[in-house]
Copies of this chain bind each other. A is one copy, B any other.
Amino acid sequence: MPLVRISLQAGNADSYRTAISNGVYEAMRETLNIPDGDRFQIITEHGHGQLIADPSFMGMTRTGDFVLIQIFLSRGRTTEIKQALYRRIVEKLCVSPGLDSDNVMIVLTEVGLDDWSFGRGEAQYVLNPPVWAQSKEKIPA
């Protein structure tokens, strides 16, 4: 279900973008309990001065390799699950394409189960809530 927007500097190879795309997807599979194939990503490349990240805010050292990952996902994940997601994305992207962990920023935005239509004009999660959402344990009051 999540919709992912990945923003990075222009000028990298296809394989670089593919590595980021794969890493984010795999980390989401491992930590968010999303099903196989739930992969919807928009990757945008930005010219000089159009992807702006403070070089040192929060004690990081950010460079031109900075990548901003914004994920829209259904409400209900605990803080612990979100923390596991952040860790896993960064672990993956440090291995491939070899980013420095300081260069990976992640922002989540939560939406409702009735905020998704995957095609055919249907609200699939209204008719069939995803497995993870069927456990009351994981949904905050």
Identify the A interface with B (CB < 8 A): 3, 7, 14, 17-18, 21, 35, 37-46, 49-54, 56-58, 60, 62, 68, 70, 72, 79, 82-83, 86-91, 101-112, 114-124, 126
B106 touches A60 (CB 8 A): no
Bound: A38/B49 CA distance, A: 16
Chain B residues whose C-beta falls within 8 Å of the C-beta of A105 in the assembled complex: 40, 117-119
Bound: A37/B53 CA distance, A: 9
Of chain B, the residue at the smallest CB distance from A38 is: B57
A86 touches B43 (CB 8 A): no
Which of B40, B52, B62, B110 sits near A41, CB closer than 8 Å?
A: B52
- A77 CB to closest chain B CB (Å) equals 9
State the number of copies, please: 3
A68 touches B42 (CB 8 A): yes
- A71 CB to closest chain B CB (Å) equals 9
Chain B residues whose C-beta falls within 8 Å of the C-beta of A39 in the assembled complex: 52-54, 57
Bound: A46/B21 CA distance, A: 15
Of chain B, the residue at the smallest CB distance from A126 is: B79
Of chain B, the residue at the smallest CB distance from A109 is: B111
B37 touches A42 (CB 8 A): no
